[in-house]
């Protein structure tokens, strides 16, 4: 086979046999004919982009009652979807329903093509979640928390990974401290660090900017956007327009009616009610 001027040259071999007697012996001859046929190379279409998250007519709520409009969206690798809206609109409820922490009133969600079940190994391997709660073990130090998460997810260079995240989140001097000895903001940074010390293809953050100072919010936003550009799928709730404008590639405004917005539109929509602005 050869390729010439954008065409593939296919070679076909035709074989004919002839048998005859030559004295006492029977002789066989094979005749080969080479035929060529120029064909255009087959063009393989790019595989369809797989949804990391797909929510179909998802109604989030409690006791069979929805708390906001019906939500439908898809989220691919290298995309960041921000859910915005006023306090109490149902943003956190939607996100918790997406990842299976709350049962949907109706509709469905798939993560990496599979029905959501946060108890499965595949889910825990691929999905990192940080919500607005102080989930920690009182007897463990900051370093021990991060070691459990990183080692449990197969990270090889555990000590180096932990040291890097402690430095990034300004916790290097507090690695031996227990969470109840930390400030509220320091505990928040510890929980965020726990999402970064492990592999993940989907990161879900509920108001990650909460209790962070301006400099740390900017550093975190810049880092998240870099990871999204490198292929991470990110689903987040935020009230910070600057944070949103840096990180998000698309947005949904959550209310009784759901509105699709650009990040710029969403940042403008929440700017007047931003509780984290200095």
C-alpha–C-alpha distance, residues 61 and 94, integer Å: 8
Average pLDDT over all residues of the chain: 85
The reply to whether 192 and 157 lie within a common domain is yes
In terms of residue numbers, what domain contains 95?
50-112+201-278
Count of structural domains within the chain: 3
pLDDT for the residue numbered 259: 96
> Is 35 domain-assigned?
yes
Q: Read off the pLDDT band of 272 (50, 70, 90).
A: confident
pLDDT above 90 (res 31): no
What CATH number has the domain bearing residue 89? Answer: 3.40.50.300
pLDDT for the residue numbered 137: 84
pLDDT in tens, 89-147: 999 999 999 999 999 999 999 999 999 998 899 999 999 999 977 678 889 999 999 99
Which residue among 170, 197, 224 closes a domain?
197
The reply to whether 165 and 217 lie within a common domain is no
> Is 261 domain-assigned?
yes
274 vs 115, residue with greater confidence: 115
β pairing state of 127-130 and 202-206: parallel
The CB-side HSE value for 229 (13 A sphere, CA atoms) comes to 8
What's the predicted TM-score (pTM) here?
A: 0.80
Buried b (16+ CB within 10 A) or exposed e, 43-79: eeeeeeeebbbbbeebbbbeeeebbbbbbebbbebeb
> Is 125 domain-assigned?
no
Residues 6 or more apart in contact with residue 93 via CB below 8 angstroms: 60, 61, 62, 67, 68, 102
pLDDT in tens, 174-228: 999 999 999 999 999 999 999 999 999 999 999 999 999 999 999 999 999 999 9
25 vs 135, residue with greater confidence: 135
């Amino acid at each position: 086979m050869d390729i010439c001027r954008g065409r593939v040259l296919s070679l076909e071999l035709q074989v004919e046999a002839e048998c005859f007697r030559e004295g006492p012996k029977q002789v066989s001859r094979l005749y080969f004919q080479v035929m060529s046929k120029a064909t255009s190379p087959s063009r393989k279409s790019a595989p369809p982009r797989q949804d990391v998250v797909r929510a179909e007519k998802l109604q989030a709520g409690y006791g069979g009652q929805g708390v906001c409009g019906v939500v439908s969206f898809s989220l691919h690798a290298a995309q960041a979807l921000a859910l915005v809206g006023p306090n109490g609109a149902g943003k956190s409820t939607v996100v918790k329903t997406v990842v299976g922490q709350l049962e949907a009133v109706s509709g469905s969600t798939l993560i990496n093509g599979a029905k959501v079940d946060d108890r499965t190994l595949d889910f825990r391997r691929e999905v990192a979640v940080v919500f607005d709660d102080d989930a920690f073990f009182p007897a463990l130090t900051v370093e021990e928390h991060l070691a459990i998460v990183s080692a449990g997810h197969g990270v090889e260079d555990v000590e180096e990974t932990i040291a890097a995240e402690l430095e990034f989140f300004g916790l290097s001097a507090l690695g031996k401290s227990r969470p109840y000895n930390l400030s509220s903001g320091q505990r928040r940074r510890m929980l965020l660090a726990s999402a970064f010390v492990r592999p993940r293809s989907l990161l879900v953050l509920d108001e990650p900017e909460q209790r962070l100072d301006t400099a740390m919010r900017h550093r975190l936003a810049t880092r998240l956007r870099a990871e999204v550009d490198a292929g991470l799928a990110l689903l987040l709730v935020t009230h910070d327009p600057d944070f949103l404008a840096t990180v998000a590639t698309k947005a949904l405004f959550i209310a009784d009616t759901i509105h699709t917005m650009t990040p710029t539109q969403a940042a403008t929509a929440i700017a007047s009610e931003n509780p984290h602005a200095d």
